[in-house]
Structure 1
């Protein structure tokens, strides 16, 4: 009898409407569930109107004020001896036009652990996205393309938190578009560039450079970082310094960004390996296309311990009052055997950080 009931449930799930759409956890979700048949703890639903949450420095408020999911090494979620929590989507149909999932996340604590997005299908599990360790302060937004596989008719997405020795993770506002592939576009001309799909928002500077940045796949033998930021096995933007002369430059620039009366917020991950490998700067061209208007907003020089680092830069409204550009410039140092790389560039053109 139990087997029959299980088969009926699976049959109804497979052939029910599979458009997961948007989930903000303000009402019970019909599209995302805590895993029932895996050896995992449960994500917990919390609201920011609870006094105990307001008084705790380790627990974030909803980025739009409201409810979110949370998993921690302390409290009720961590009281059990299970260090992972898995959130499963309903059964989804593969689209021949591509699919895209986005969500907000927050990872707090130096030894917080790993947060992963995976695609589960009959033939196995694919890792689509990963973040490990503390991700600085505040909520972060991510958009991930779901690869098209004509041999897979149905699949599930899972968001899995594997906690370390001390920390917490939170999720909010999961948005799944099953019938359209990801785009780089955000509101008011903003964009996300993770170098996993064709880049339309940025390009190598055409004139005045000595060489170009290149999009490279993460590998242990490619001269760059052995992992990328997005999934650990994806792509990043690499400044190949080997064979270049000291002082030579390469710039990567946006394709014109709409004005913003409220300023903007730029975030990205960077990798600098080598004591004298060179310098990386981020500049704003307050008049789109005019390099002569460039103003340096951020710079870093020298070895960064061979790890990916996160940076966030506010663009004041005085610099975004007309169409503008963002430009990343790498300058070769005296040691051309190191590497400089960039990944997961996000520009929110609706206000400062």
Structure 2
């Protein structure tokens, strides 16, 4: 019998075994332990019924997480500590310590802190008292020193409060790199900026994340670009005035010299026509650098997500990429989604389109003039499995009868206009001179009013050539009709 209480010996682990994601067992990760405090740290997978808002682990991939249960127990003080194993970090290296955390409750009165213990000296490296209903992540760059260190994750709730809060913790990871050099690609799908991404603190505008329409009317996307209810990043135009700026920065990018890379992202800019807002994409050596090299500026407005593919030559020196919104006199919310950088040439959009994929349109297709945006159109094509306008205007299914989707327009909504138009523009293709290609498609024209379906050539990126009509169709049909049109090549 020992004269003191039992204590678990602290385990010393190598850096590559430090991380704890809580996904393997319903107990502590190897070397991790519960520290002093009057509350217990529990583990769960999936929703927790007795919390204010049911939650899942922060990636929503079905993994486990740790949490402090509901604190409506009237205690004068509540606290809990999660203590890491001891780890020795190489003195020539830098590391990034990260974790996901969430305060799920009504009060938001808590203190979440991360302490570093080295040479028996404890220092706070992160602290948050922020109330939120979604997962957040913190990241701190740690400089190696060959001195053993330990980390304590502590949650302290205030005295004399009857609280209805739960604190969630997930995916404590020690990366063998600086937080500035974390992976570049970001989908924004975990309701937070990806690790390594950050905002300018000196700007007037703030980038936010959302998985539903923005609060402004007649602007902003309805959903992220795949329509799978993920999140996207956006700037709310109503929160600023003309001339205000808001920049978001990527982690550092390391490339190989003389190698081609594809910079791939989606953007959305819907609003009023005229002197409007800009989305500037630039690269710089760091966030503090005053020298910014513009990659591309987007000023046109559109009603749907657009895909940008930009080929870049690899550079020897690392750099960051910034997305900056500059507000104009219009009311355009600006959004981005699914930002990626990969080695190799950007893909060329395929021409053929069945409209059956779960995206607004096929890759490279658009419903607007690529130069003037929606200014030319009065209404737009959309997609459906089945569409009825009136009792005499019915398209029962796609032309195969197999339940696929098709593109259609609804002219009845715009009956007050004598002449209306809608564009459906294909990707750019090349056809050799003195040759031709066969354009094969199905069409269906139905209703009481006369309509005209035109097929014409558009020499990108010049203006639309309305006099270069290949063919047109005006006769109403009672079924799908197949059309084949020869498209001549050009030099």
Bin for the TM-score computed over the shorter chain: 0.5 to 0.7
Q: State the secondary structure of the residue aligned to 1:186.
A: coil
TM-score by length of 2: 0.40
Could you tell me how far apart the structure 1 residues matched to 2:6 and 2:124 are? 28
Q: Is the 8 A contact 2:15 2:89 kept in 1?
A: no
Q: Which residue of 2 aligns with 1:216?
A: none
CA contact (8 A) 1:102 1:143 kept: yes
Deviations along 1:252-291, whole A, 9 cap, x unmatched?
4657993246x79xxxxxxxxxxxxxxxxx9644897233
Classify 1:92/1:291 alpha carbon distance in 2 versus 1 (closer, same or farther; 3 Å).
same
> How far does residue 155 in structure 1 lie from its aligned partner after superposition?
1.2
User: Which residue number in structure 1 is paired with residue 46 of structure 2?
Assistant: 48
**What are structure 2's unaligned runs of at least 5 residues?**
188-193, 204-240, 254-261, 269-276, 283-293, 311-320, 329-335, 341-491
On the 8 A contact 2:69/2:166 being kept in 1, the answer is yes
Q: Where in structure 2 are the equivalents of 1:167-316 lying within 5 Å?
A: 167-177=165-175, 179-186=176-183, 188=185, 192-193=195-196, 252=247, 254=249, 258-260=263-265, 284-285=279-280, 289-293=295-299
Q: State the number of aligned residues.
A: 242
| 2:119 corresponds to 1:141 | no
Equivalent pair of 1:114/1:131 in contact (CA under 8 Å): yes
1:104 has 2:123 as partner: no
Other-structure match for 1:30: 30
1 or 2, which has the higher strand percentage?
A: 1
Unaligned runs of 5+ in 1: 196-201, 205-211, 214-245, 265-281, 297-315, 332-345
Structure 2 residue 152 is the aligned partner of structure 1 residue 158 = yes
Once residues 330 and 160 of structure 1 are traced to their aligned partners in structure 2, the CA distance between those partners, rounded to angstroms, is 41
Which residue in 2 is equivalent to 1:306?
Answer: none
Structure 1 CA distance for aligned equivalents of residues 137 and 46 of structure 2 = 19
Conserved in 2, the CA contact under 8 Å of 1:188 and 1:258? no
Match status 1:69 vs 2:66: yes
Q: Is the 8 A contact 1:286 1:322 kept in 2?
A: no
Match of 2:80 among 71, 79, 85: 85
Shift of 1:62: 1.8
2:170 partner SS: strand
Q: Cα 1:88–1:330, aligned 2, differ >3 Å: closer, same or farther?
A: farther
RMSD between aligned residues: 4.7
Question: Any idea what SS the aligned residue of 2:185 has?
Answer: helix
For residues 50 and 71 of structure 2, what CA distance do their matches in structure 1 show? 15
Whether the 8 Å contact between 2:15 and 2:174 is mirrored in structure 1 is no
Provide closer, same or farther for how the CA distance between residues 157 and 90 of structure 1 changes in structure 2, counting only shifts above 3 A.
same
Indicate the SS of the match to 1:99.
Answer: strand
What is the CA distance between 1:91 and its match in structure 2?
Answer: 0.8
**Aligned CA distance change for structure 1 residues 5 and 81 (closer, same or farther; 3 Å):** closer
Q: Which has the higher helix share?
A: 1
Max radius of gyration: which structure?
Answer: 2
Instruction: Check whether the contact 2:94–2:142 (CA below 8 A) recurs between aligned residues.
Output: yes
Whether contact under 8 Å (1:31, 1:90) holds in the other structure is yes
* Residues 1:3 and 1:163: Cα distance change in structure 2 (over 3 Å): same
Q: Which residue of 1 aligns with 2:126?
A: 129
Q: Which residue of the partner structure matches residue 116 of structure 2?
A: 119
Q: Is the 8 A contact 2:179 2:195 kept in 1?
A: no
* Secondary structure at the counterpart of residue 259 of structure 1: strand
CA deviation profile, 1:289-328 (whole Å, cap 9, x unmatched):
23353779xxxxxxxxxxxxxxxxxxx9824543595215
Residues 254/183 of structure 1: CA separation in 2 closer, same or farther (3 Å cut): closer
Q: CA 1:73 to 1:54, structure 2 compared with 1: closer, same or farther past 3 Å?
A: closer
